[in-house]
Amino acid sequence: MTRGDNVVAFTPPDGRRKGPDPKQLIEAVRDSAEQQLEAVLEGLFDNTDDTLFELADRSDRNADQHRYIDAMRDIRLKRLRIMRGFKQAYRNQFKRLLEADTPQSAFPDGLDDHEDANLALVENDELEVSVAISGMVSKAQSQHSMALFAVSTRLDSLLNSVTIDESNNPLGPRKLSESFGRAADQLEVDIRVRLILFKLFERHVLAKLAPIYESVDAILTGAGVLRDVRNLRRRTEHSSATEGSAPPRAAGSKSQAPMGGTQMDFDGLRQLMHSSQQGPARALGPMVSTQEFMGALSQVQASASAMPLDPLATPSMVDFDELVASQQGQLTRPDEDAVNLIGMLFNFILNDHNLAIPMKALIGRLQIPLLKVALMDHAFFSQPGHPARQLLNELSSAGIGWSASGELRRDALYEKVESIIERILNQFEQDVGLWEVLLAELREFIARDRRKTQMVEQRLRQSEIGRAKTDDARKEVRQRVGRKMGGLRMPQSVAEFIHNVWQRVLIHVHVRESTESQTWNQMLQVLDDLLWCVQPLTAEDDRAFRRNLRVELEANLRKGLARVTQDQQTTERELALVTTPLDLIIERDDAASERKDPASMSNEDGWTEETVPTEEIEVPMSEPESAATQELVDPAFMAQAKDLSEGSWVEYRDGSGVSQRCKLVGIVDPGDRYVFANRRGMKVAAMTCDDVVARLAKDEITLLDDSALFERALSSVITDLRASQSAAG
pLDDT at site 437: 94
Q: What are phi and psi of 312, to 5 degrees?
A: -105, 10
Question: Bigger pLDDT: 164 or 245?
Answer: 164
d(CA 707, CA 511): 39
Q: What is the mean pLDDT of the chain?
A: 80
> Taking Cα atoms as reference points, which of 167, 130, 383 lies closest to residue 260?
167
Angle value at C-alpha 581, between 579 and 587, nearest 5 degrees: 95
pLDDT tens across 211-248, in order?
A: 899 888 888 888 878 755 544 443 344 444 343 433 33
Q: What is the mean pLDDT of residues 684-693?
A: 91
Asked whether residue 729 carries a pLDDT value surpassing 90, the answer given is no
Question: What's the confidence (pLDDT) of residue 370?
Answer: 96
What pLDDT does 128 receive?
66
Query: Among 187-196, 247-256, 349-358, 397-406, which range has the highest average pLDDT?
Result: 349-358
The pLDDT score that the predictor gives to residue 246 is 38
pLDDT grade for 671, boundaries at 50, 70 and 90? confident
| Cβ atoms 678, 662 nearer than 8 A | yes
User: Out of 77-86, 375-384, 632-641, which region has the weakest mean confidence (pLDDT)?
Assistant: 632-641
pLDDT attached to residue 3:
36
Q: Contact, 339 vs 320, CB < 8 A?
A: yes
Dihedral (C-alpha) 340, 342, 344, 348: value to the nearest 10 degrees? -170
Confidence tier at 340 by pLDDT (50, 70, 90): very high
- Model pLDDT, residue 284: 64
pLDDT given at position 421: 94
Closest CA to 232 of 221, 218, 245: 221
Outline where 101-188 has alpha helix (H). 113-116, 124-143, 145-156, 173-184
By mean pLDDT, which of 167-181, 227-241, 694-708 is the weakest? 227-241
- Report the pLDDT value the prediction gives residue 420, as an integer from 0 to 100: 95
Q: Kindly tell me if the per-residue pLDDT of 625 is higher than 60.
A: no
Inform me whether the pLDDT recorded for 417 exceeds 90.
yes
What pLDDT score was predicted for residue 125?
61
Rounded to an integer, the average pLDDT of 640-664 is: 88
Question: Which of 14-28, 115-129, 193-207, 385-399 is least confident?
Answer: 115-129
Kindly report whether the global pTM for this prediction surpasses the value 0.85: no
Nearest to 586 by CA among 545, 614, 623, 557: 545
Q: What is the tens place of the pLDDT at every residue in 270-295? A: 888 888 666 555 556 788 888 889 99
pLDDT band at 315; cut points 50, 70, 90: confident
